[in-house]
A and B are shown apart, each in its own frame.
Chain A
Amino acid sequence: MAEVIWGLATSHVPSIGAAMDRGKTEDPNWKALFDGYAPARAWLAEHRPDVAIVVYNDHANGIDLDFVPTFGLGTAEEYEVADEGFGRRPVPDVVGHPELALHLVESLVDEEFDLTVFQELEVDHGFTVPLSVWTPDPGDAWPCPVIPLLVNVIQYPQPTAARCYALGRALGRAIRSYPGDLTVGVLGTGGMSHQLAGARAGFINPEFDARWMSAIETDPASLAALSREELIRQAGAEGIELIMWLVMRGALDDEVVKVHSDYFVPASNTAAGIALFQNGAG
């Protein structure tokens, strides 16, 4: 059977990737963010899984508004890195894992999560920035094959926080029922509080972020109970994408061990958070 060995929650702000791509990680405006990643990166380098699953959303690069799948999963052998307008990020294309992905689709649809299946998908910063947070210098290839799990967080109504958490629980069961022996890392991406448009642009809510950071470890059900309205009110119109952390958290056991977490404002217009959990009671 396959086994989830860790969960990583991280913001996927494009400027984090741009700072890395342009060698600005020692810049005074960025240094504290990247210093805050270091303990997680060191631990992850020692705990390489066989496959990773990245829970993320696309930002007008891989898919447009012709189709707005609430949840989607990639079953392709590879995923090209998207050119978002000014050249693609200088990072490797992504090798997929069709066997596990197809098993996940079957298991999840059996559990009545009716996912959209992607056989072709270009992945954008929402996907590649978390991989860079994990692995700053991938060389020619990312550490392992990666499966994209897409969540619509851009167009209202987004799935509820409760549904995301339930999807994560079902994802965990689907992984454990895979017949092959595999270790799996799950990344939940996006957040933390931020709002990009409107007179409330620039909104940051450190109190809410602190509550979220603590509860994602010890009481994720309390976060799953938050309504969309409450999330938008507390985390900002775009901060609602934090619901993707709940998919990751659901795939882990109730008991996890926190390896590292950190919080930084601002990454562009966003509060950036990272939280790394070893799965199980340790």
Chain B
Amino acid sequence: MSETAPDRFGLSGTPIFDGETSRRGLRMNKLFMSLRTAENRERFLADEAGYCQGFGLSPEQQQAVLARDWQAMIDLGGSIFYVYKLAMMDGRSMQYLGGVFTGMGEDDFLAAMRAGGRRDG
């Protein structure tokens, strides 16, 4: 089975967080949610790999988390609302993530949003 999110509806560039994706990403999403507490953030930062293993992430998921490969986290079952917990811990904004997902970079992404947002086509 492919590890990337299915292209549901044929809407390119539009990940759909469906049940299968959620099943695949459950352990990783639980890790992200645990980062709400300062104590867990400290434990995570002290030993990121060990923390990932403790939550039972797959090797690919652990690699994505350690490398801060945001696109891979989404592809491997991350929900953007959960992935964002890790981004916040790193001091990264949703505009930063938008810059990563679109390949535009944060500044251009932010400028596009301030200009009224991006359109299809």
Interface residues in chain A, defined as those with a beta carbon under 8 Å from any beta carbon in chain B: 15, 29, 59-61, 64-66, 68, 82-86, 154-157, 193-206, 229, 232-233, 236-238, 265-266, 268-269, 271
CB distance from A114 to the nearest CB of B (A): 19
Provide the bound-state CA to CA distance between A65 and B20, in Å. 12
CB distance from B64 to the nearest CB of A (A): 14
Interface residues in chain B, defined as those with a beta carbon under 8 Å from any beta carbon in chain A: 8-9, 11-19, 22, 26, 29-30, 32-33, 35-37, 41, 74, 79-85, 88-89, 94-95, 97-98, 101-103, 109, 112-114, 116-120
Whether B98 contacts A201 by the Cβ 8 Å rule is yes
Most interface-central of B12, B33, B37, B41 (chain A CB within 10 A): B33
Subset of 24 A-B contacts with CB under 8 Å? A59-B81, A60-B32, A60-B33, A65-B30, A65-B79, A83-B36, A85-B41, A85-B85, A154-B81, A155-B19, A156-B16, A156-B19, A199-B13, A199-B103, A200-B14, A201-B118, A202-B102, A202-B118, A204-B118, A232-B11, A232-B16, A236-B14, A266-B114, A268-B94
Main secondary structure of the interface of A (DSSP, over half): loop
Most interface-central of A68, A157, A202 (chain B CB within 10 A): A202
Whether B117 contacts A265 by the Cβ 8 Å rule is yes
Q: Which residues of B contact A206 (CB under 8 A)?
A: 116-117
Whether A204 contacts B79 by the Cβ 8 Å rule is no
CB distance from A44 to the nearest CB of B (A): 28
Provide the bound-state CA to CA distance between A59 and B32, in Å. 12
Whether B114 contacts A65 by the Cβ 8 Å rule is no
Provide the bound-state CA to CA distance between A94 and B17, in Å. 30
Q: Which residues of B contact A202 (CB under 8 A)?
A: 98, 102, 109, 112-113, 117-118
Most interface-central of B18, B118, B119 (chain A CB within 10 A): B118
Most interface-central of B26, B102, B109 (chain A CB within 10 A): B102
Extra inter-chain contacts (18) besides given A60-B29, A83-B36, CB under 8 Å: A15-B94, A29-B114, A64-B33, A85-B35, A156-B16, A156-B17, A197-B80, A198-B101, A199-B102, A199-B103, A200-B14, A200-B118, A201-B98, A202-B113, A232-B9, A237-B16, A265-B116, A265-B117
